[in-house]
Amino acid sequence: MAGPRQQRAVIRKPAESFEDALQHMEVADDDRGLETKTLGPQEVLLNVKACCINYPDLLQTTNGYQHKQTFPYTPGLEVSGEVVRVGEGVKVDELKPGSQVMIMCGGQGLATQLIVDAKQCVAMPPNMSFAEAAAFRIGYETAWHCLFERGNIHSDDVVLVTGATGGMGLAAVQVAKKVFGCTVIAAGGSDEKLAEVQRVGGADHIVNYNTDPQFSKTVKSLTGGNGVSLYFDTVGGEIFQQGLRSTAFAARVLIVGFTSGERPKIPANYVLIKCLAVFGCRAGEVLQRLPDAANAIAGPRRTRLNQYAERGWLKPHVSHKFPLTTEGVRGAYKALMDRQVVGRVCVICDETSSASSAKL
């Protein structure tokens, strides 16, 4: 008896713009035969339940990301799913058919099935839906790396997060507020979306940098003239410069990304005069380059984040969900491109589950 129809999204060729990229993506039948393929040692076959569309997914459509894809390719860097079967050597007490997991897969995730290494699988917190689990690892592991591993965050910090309405920024708001109890100022470009960030993230103050372009004065006012001790920026451009002017003496500055498309320059004299510590933050690169990072960094990072998630302190906010169809995938990318999303956007790849407790 034939199994369910397998499908995957395909991006045919690089585009000159994000708008053009929409026309190069489609959902097609998956003829790779993964459901019957012999698994290698430590390999796991998954039924993908949900796939989160991240900003790097958008950049890859125009070859604008540092990790290049070979076209045509199937996108999708982060998924959740259920184990179908496992290869030789996989510990069945940890992964077995029906196990619910979340994976950072580096690509190929926007499909109904996926083969990954067992080491990539992390057990889903039981209080998360598949969509939430698909949106958890990249955002929260990066936020943790930036704020804790690089920024040495502590409870008396006053933290400014720019790009706070996006998935990475909202994760940073939650980590700073709900794990460390900091005073958090969330900055974004929409009053409506910022209100949602305050509701689900717990930010103490919100600042709209579209209606308040010189927002450094507002931040200074909110902090009694002192400025913030820790600054988390995903935006770049003039927003970054305003955030830099919002810092206190001896503040730590965390450079996470440039969603504005503008890479700012930092005046060295400003860093010197204010005794600023400036950190570049790359959660994944650290694990590849530092010795014994898998045991010393990755393991403790994931354990702590899962514990906080199980306590209900950390939970991704998925504002948009789309089906795994050509129109659905294009809709998900367009929602991210047009900045409609608060937190994360996910494509639902399979609405069935063998576990009655799991929700999409």
List of E strands, 72-112: 78-86, 100-104
Which residues, 6 or more positions from 218, have their beta carbon under 8 angstroms from its beta carbon? Answer: 207, 212
User: What are the DSSP calls for 28-56, one per residue?
Assistant: EE--S-GGGSPPPTTEEEEEEEEEEE-HH
Which residues, 6 or more positions from 289, have their beta carbon under 8 angstroms from its beta carbon? Answer: none
Strands 78-86, 25-29: pairing is unpaired
What pLDDT score was predicted for residue 291? 85
Q: Note the pLDDT tens digit of each residue in 99-121.
A: 999 999 989 999 999 999 999 99
- Asked if pLDDT for residue 49 goes beyond 70, the answer is yes
User: What are the DSSP calls for 207-273, one per residue?
Assistant: EETTT-TTHHHHHHHHTTTS-EEEEEES--HHHHHHHHHTEEEEEEEEE---TTS------HHHHHH
Mean pLDDT of the chain: 93
- Asked if pLDDT for residue 325 goes beyond 90, the answer is yes
DSSP 111: B
Q: How far is CA 312 from the centre of its chain?
A: 18
What type of residue is 321? K
What pLDDT score was predicted for residue 1? 41
Q: Note the pLDDT tens digit of each residue in 203-221.
A: 999 999 999 999 999 999 9
pTM of the complete model: 0.93
287 touches 293 (CB < 8 A): yes
Domains and CATH numbers, the chain: 7-136+316-348 (3.90.180.10), 139-285 (3.40.50.720)
Q: Note the pLDDT tens digit of each residue in 140-198.
A: 999 999 999 999 999 999 999 999 999 999 999 999 999 999 999 999 999 999 999 99
What band does 358 get if pLDDT is binned at 50, 70 and 90?
Answer: low
- Asked if pLDDT for residue 356 goes beyond 80, the answer is no
Distance CA 205, CA 221 (A): 11
Distance CA 139, CA 146 (A): 11
C-alpha angle with apex 313: 311 to 319, nearest 5 degrees?
Answer: 120
Distance CA 246, CA 237 (A): 15
Which residues, 6 or more positions from 203, have their beta carbon under 8 angstroms from its beta carbon? Answer: 161, 164, 173, 177, 184, 185, 186, 194, 197
